[in-house]
Structure 1
Amino acid sequence: MLVRLGFASIIWLDTDIILVDEALAVGDYRFQTKCFKKFEELKEIGKTILYVSHDIDSVRRFCTRAIWLDNGKIIANGDVATVTSKYIESCVNPGNKAYSQKQRLTGALNHYGNHIGAIKNISIPKNGEFYLHENVRITVDVYISDDISLDSLGVSIALKDKFGLDLIVFQTDEPLHYGTNQINFCFENRLNSGKYTIAAGLENKNSLPITYYEYIEGAAEIKSIAPPQTFGLISAPCKIYVR
């Protein structure tokens, strides 16, 4: 209640800059929703909000610029997607820089791991354009060398929105083998109109958090085309009965 009272007092002050330090972490979902709605109102009238948080999803959803601080030092400063992606890399791939900048995939938002090059290709037919409810196939070609343990090894793809938030994630269940593996992710497109990025990863599924032999964020892009009268991000099946 003290946090709620403090937050309510601050947002009604006539000030140009508002600093919010992890205040939303202690609130329930309803409280957080109200806060973000108020944030948007303050942004529209030109207020500057410094939002301090470890919650990557909320930072990506709310902020227009990000600064990554570690022990008082600026590690990265720039657009939200790039900075938060580098922060996530540090969490899931700490201290592992066993690759050169030249090995990174050109055009990818971020690309890291200790087996860069294992993911050989990511292909999407039709130039990546699909209508709502159309079948989609995303093919990932992976080469697994014998210095990678097959235990708990998997390949995943994630469909992300413009903020970098995971909308849909698919992971392999069948065992992989050494040498070349071709994985076809086939699904019905339920994304409403917009452009979405694809992240692909060769991962150890049993580690917490998941660690990656290779992870490519922004590896590809798809465009979904839906009728005008569709709302939200995802068109999920629903049976509606009126009596």
Structure 2
Amino acid sequence: MATPIIKINQLSKVYRVYNTPGDRLKETLSITKKKFSSDFHALNNISLVINKGETVGIIGRNGSGKSTLLKILAQVSTPTTGSVHIQGSVSAILELGAGFNQEYSGLENIYLNGTIQGKNKEQMNKKLNDILAFADIGDFINQPVKTYSSGMFARLAFAVAINVEPDILIVDEALAVGDMKFQAKCFRKFEEMKTKGTTILFVGHDVSSIRKFCDKAMWLHQGKLVAFGDTLGVTAEYMEFMNSEESEQPDIKALDEEGLSDVEPAEMFSEIKIDAINRWGSHKNSIKSVALINEKGRSTTVFQHGETVRIILKFTLPENIDLLHFSAAISIKNTMGLDLIVFTTHDEKNTIFESTSNEIELTFEFVNYLTEGDYILVAALENRKGIQPEYYDFIEGVAYFKSIATKQLFGVVHTPYRILLNKEVNLTSGK
């Protein structure tokens, strides 16, 4: 049974913003209570529950309220309205250097942080060797921390935070300043703490790390909670939003209530952009629009590995063409311009076009086996009478999309496969 450890109820944090330093004094001394400031909502009416032992990844653009939320949870800032109830001890790594005295040595700061966490000197003595081993900064432990590099600061802060054995660990992008070896070391420690039931809140911009490590994800945007729940679903919505050139504001209500928003059929299609990489052919502008649809029926530019993809082309038939050899095709290229996958109606003899058709809507449906990366979509109307196609309308860069995966995959395309092991084969040495 899930045990709530953090309860957030209608939490808001509002800051007063002044145009000039003097406006603050004017507002303070104003007899008429005239306002010389405007309100900035860093957090706006957030409610959620985090259970004991859960690991939650927090995502969102810069300025979305992530750090403000963590400061309130770490009890270094207070909310304007609403409430936060926490069961257990909290250890937080916030801004680099937070909680450290710049004039103290690393060793002195270890004991200072221990005191802040409610640990006495005897308790910290027992943890000292583990902290020093994890931080791995050598003789610098006896030097003032103001002489430390950002990486050394991060290693020491993380080593202290994890070794005071908190019920809740909060990490605000501190790992970004560490090298790959240190980051790997931190994630191994995260996994160890998870098995012990520690609740972890982790802010990061690396979606793949959040997917690999976190049980749930929280998406904040302009101080509002857009979505909270299954990591894969929330991060997919977030990446789709971040990679959409047209989206400026996520549909917060729809995502909160249903996990996705409805899309009208007309909204799925986008007119061909004039900034396509290349466009040529004897009948340019025959291709009118394109839509990329995921298996939920939504228009998107982000697809999961293994999900069904539909690419819908709308086009008109060029006049006086040879319909017997007419073909429509799409190609998926990598960013280097190499064709990876090509689909064409020329290979499917049962696709018959009629000259009486006004506008044709053609759907290519396939399973996305591309590994994680950025891809370019090509669309073409062809004459396949000869060995080499002749093009009526060819567009390189008709659309762009991302493929994402829940685990690390190698190569460009990762398709299903079987492994057969014949255990009856005996290999002998000698003759």
Given the two structures, how large is their TM-score scaled by the length of structure 2?
0.32
Q: Which has the higher strand share?
A: 1
Aligned counterparts of 2:385 and 2:375: Cα–Cα separation in 1 = 28
Separation in 1, partners of 2:330, 2:337? 13
**Residue among 362, 373, 386 paired with 1:194:** 373
- Check the 8 A contact 1:158/1:198 in 2, yes or no: yes
* 8 Å CA contact retained: 1:159, 1:167: yes
Partner Cα separation in structure 1 for residue 275 and residue 409 of structure 2 = 31
Structure with greater helix share of residues? 2
Equivalent residue letter for 1:116? K
Picking from 328, 334, 337, the partner of 1:161 is: 334
- Structure-2 separation of matches of 1:207 and 1:162: 29
Q: CA deviation at 1:105?
A: 4.5
How far does residue 160 in structure 1 lie from its aligned partner after superposition?
0.3
**1:1-243 to 2 correspondence within 5 Å?**
105-125=273-293, 126-172=299-345, 173=348, 174-178=351-355, 179-242=358-421, 243=423
- String of CA shifts for 1:58-110, please: whole Å, max 9, x gaps: xxxxxxxxxxxxxxxxxxxxxxxxxxxxxxxxxxxxxxxxxxxxxx9412110
Runs of 4+ in 1 over 6 A off after TM superposition: none
| Amino acid corresponding to residue 279 of structure 2 in structure 1 | H
Partner of 1:48: none
Q: Is the 8 A contact 2:283 2:318 kept in 1?
A: no
* Identity within the alignment, %: 34
Matched residues in 1 for 2:309 and 2:321: separation? 30
Q: Cα offset for 1:208?
A: 2.8
SS at 1:127 equivalent: coil
AA at the equivalent of 1:165: L
Q: Is the 8 A contact 2:318 2:392 kept in 1?
A: no
Rounded to whole Å, the distance in 1 between the matches of 2:367 and 2:390 is 28
User: Separation in 1 of the partners of 2:310 and 2:363?
Assistant: 6
Work out which of the two has the higher radius of gyration on C-alpha atoms and give 1 or 2.
2
| One-letter code aligned to 1:117 | N
CA distance, structure 2, for counterparts of residue 143 and residue 195 of structure 1: 29
Deviations 1:180-232 (A, max 9, x none): 21110000000000110000000011223211001000110121011332101
The alignment yields a C-alpha RMSD, in angstroms, of 1.5
Shift of 1:134: 0.2
Higher relative contact order (CA 8 A, sep 6+): 1
* Matched position secondary structure for 1:151: helix
List alignment gaps of at least 5 residues for structure 1. 1-103
CA distance in 1, matches of 2:274, 2:338: 22
Residues 105 and 111 of structure 1 are in contact (CA less than 8 Å); yes or no, is this contact kept in structure 2?
no
Counterparts of 2:291 and 2:408, CA distance in 1:
30
- Name the CA distance, whole Å, in 1 between partners of 2:375 and 2:395: 14
Spell out, residue by residue over 1:113-150, the C-alpha distance to the aligned partner (whole angstroms, 9 max, x if none): 11111111111134221101000000001101432221
- TM-score, structure 1 normalization: 0.55
Unaligned runs of 5+ in 2: 1-271, 294-298, 424-431
